[in-house]
Structure 1
Amino acid sequence: MNILILRSAFALALSFSLAAQAQPAPDRLQRPSPASPMAGRSPLTAIQTLGNRQVMVGDSGHILLRTVDGNLRQANVPVDLLLTAVYFVNDQQGWAVGHDGVIVHSDDGGLNWKKQLDGNDINALISESAEREANRLRQDLLEHPQDAARATALDNALFAVADAKAAHEGGPARPLLDVWFRDALQGWAVGSYGMLLATTDGGQSWHYQSGLDNPDRLHLNTVLGLADGTLLVAGEGGQVYRSLDNGMHWQASITLGPESFYKLLALKNGEILAMGFGGALFASDDSGTSWQPLSNPVKVAVYGGQQLSDGSVLLAGQGGVVLYSDDGEHFKAWRSRSKFPWLGVGQVSSTQVALIGSSGLQILPLIELKEHLQ
Structure 2
Amino acid sequence: MQMNTNRCAGLCGLALLALTACGKASEPLASTASPVSAREVRYQPVVINPTLMTLALEPREGALLVGGSDGTIWHSRDAGKTWLNAPTPVSGNILAITPTPDGQGLFAVGEQGAILASSDKGMSWQARPSAVAQNLMALAFDDTGKQALAVGVQGTITRSADGGEHWEALDLGLPGGVGSVLFDPAHKSWLIGGEGGVLAWSADGGDSWSASNLRTDAAITRLLREASGGALLAGTSDGKILRSVDGGRRWSVVLSVKKTDYITRIVQAPAQGAKAGLLLATTATGAVLQSRDAGKRWRLARTPTDKYLSSISVLPAAPGVVLAAGDGGVFVRSADAGKTWSKIEAPTRQNIESMILEPKSGALLAVSKGALVLASSDAGQSWQIRHQAQPEYVHAMARDAKSGALLAVGAYRMVSRSTDGGRSWQVSTNQALVEPAFLNDMLADPKSGALVVAGGHRSVMSSKDGGANWRNFSNAGDSYQGLMLDPRSGAVVMFGDHGAIGRMDSVSAEPQVLPAFGDKALFGGLADGAGRLWVFGEEGMLARSTDTGKTWQVVALEGAPKLFSGYSDASGTILIVLGDGGAIRRSADGGATWQAVNSGTTQALRGIAASASGTALITTGPDGLILRSVDAGASWQAVDSGTHELLRAPVLDAATGNMLVAGRGGVVLRSIDEGLSWTLVDTHSTARYKRVFVDPGSQSLFAHGDRLVRLDPVVE
Shared topology, TM-score over 0.5?
yes
Deviation at 1:48, TM superposition (A): 4.7
CA distance in 2, matches of 1:320, 1:35: 22
Report whether the alignment pairs 1:326 with 2:672. yes
Residue deviations 1:269-292, cap 9 Å, x none?
112111122221111121111112
Which amino acid in the other structure matches residue 193 of structure 1?
Answer: E
CA distance in 2, matches of 1:94, 1:354: 25
Deviation at 1:46, TM superposition (A): 4.3
CA distance in 1, matches of 2:523, 2:693: 19
CA distance in 2, matches of 1:256, 1:101: 30
Please identify, of 69-78 and 284-293, the stretch whose mean Cα deviation from structure 2 is larger.
69-78
Alignment root-mean-square deviation, CA:
3.5
Deviation at 1:55, TM superposition (A): 5.4
**Is the 2:462–2:472 Cα contact (8 Å) retained in structure 1?**
no
Percent of residue pairs bearing the same amino acid type: 22
CA distance in 2, matches of 1:240, 1:278: 18
Choose from 51, 76, 80 the match for 2:472.
76
Choose from 678, 686, 694 the match for 1:347.
694
Aligned residue number for residue 142 of structure 1: none
Choose from 419, 423, 429 the match for 1:38.
429
**Is the 2:650–2:662 Cα contact (8 Å) retained in structure 1?**
yes
User: Which is richer in helix?
Assistant: 1
Report whether the alignment pairs 1:113 with 2:456. no
In the alignment, structure 1 segments of 5+ residues that lack a partner are 11-32, 124-171
CA distance in 2, matches of 1:54, 1:267: 26
CA distance in 2, matches of 1:54, 1:324: 28
**Is the 2:523–2:536 Cα contact (8 Å) retained in structure 1?**
yes
Aligned residue number for residue 205 of structure 1: 551
Deviation at 1:116, TM superposition (A): 2.6
User: Which is richer in strand?
Assistant: 2
Deviation at 1:97, TM superposition (A): 1.7
Deviation at 1:243, TM superposition (A): 0.7
Q: Residues 201 and 53 of structure 1: is their aligned pair in 2 closer, same or farther, counting only changes over 3 Å?
A: closer
In the alignment, structure 2 segments of 5+ residues that lack a partner are 1-7, 15-411, 416-427, 432-436
Which amino acid in the other structure matches residue 203 of structure 1?
Answer: G
CA distance in 1, matches of 2:683, 2:471: 29
Report whether the alignment pairs 1:103 with 2:501. yes
TM-score of the superposition, structure 1-length normalised? 0.65
**Is the 1:46–1:343 Cα contact (8 Å) retained in structure 2?**
no
CA distance in 1, matches of 2:509, 2:609: 26
CA distance in 2, matches of 1:319, 1:177: 24
Alignment map for 1:6-21 (pairs within 5 Å) = 6-8=10-12
SS at match of 1:343: strand
Moved over 4 A (4+): 33-36, 42-67, 69-75, 78-81, 335-338
CA distance in 1, matches of 2:454, 2:680: 25
Alignment map for 1:1-374 (pairs within 5 Å) = 3=8, 6-8=10-12, 37-38=428-429, 45-46=440-441, 48=443, 50-51=445-446, 57-61=454-458, 71=467, 74=470, 76-79=472-475, 81-90=478-487, 92-109=490-507, 112-117=510-515, 121-123=516-518, 172=519, 174-182=520-528, 185-210=531-556, 212-214=557-559, 217-228=560-571, 229-270=573-614, 271-310=616-655, 311-329=657-675, 330-334=677-681, 336=683, 339-348=686-695, 349-358=697-706, 362=708, 364-367=710-713
Deviation at 1:221, TM superposition (A): 1.3
CA distance in 2, matches of 1:111, 1:356: 29
Deviation at 1:104, TM superposition (A): 2.4
SS at match of 1:277: coil
CA distance in 1, matches of 2:561, 2:574: 21
Q: Residues 351 and 321 of structure 1: is their aligned pair in 2 closer, same or farther, counting only changes over 3 Å?
A: same
Q: Residues 193 and 111 of structure 1: is their aligned pair in 2 closer, same or farther, counting only changes over 3 Å?
A: same
Instruction: Pick the structure with greater CA Rg.
Output: 2
Residue deviations 1:186-209, cap 9 Å, x none?
111110111111111111111111
Aligned residue number for residue 29 of structure 1: none
Aligned residue number for residue 139 of structure 1: none
**Is the 2:683–2:711 Cα contact (8 Å) retained in structure 1?**
no
**Is the 1:43–1:357 Cα contact (8 Å) retained in structure 2?**
no
CA distance in 1, matches of 2:688, 2:461: 19
SS at match of 2:498: helix
Deviation at 1:335, TM superposition (A): 5.5
Deviation at 1:70, TM superposition (A): 6.7
Q: Residues 34 and 282 of structure 1: is their aligned pair in 2 closer, same or farther, counting only changes over 3 Å?
A: closer
**Is the 2:461–2:472 Cα contact (8 Å) retained in structure 1?**
no
**Is the 2:648–2:690 Cα contact (8 Å) retained in structure 1?**
yes
Deviation at 1:73, TM superposition (A): 5.2
CA distance in 1, matches of 2:713, 2:650: 18
SS at match of 2:596: coil
Which amino acid in the other structure matches residue 100 of structure 1?
Answer: H
**Is the 2:413–2:430 Cα contact (8 Å) retained in structure 1?**
no
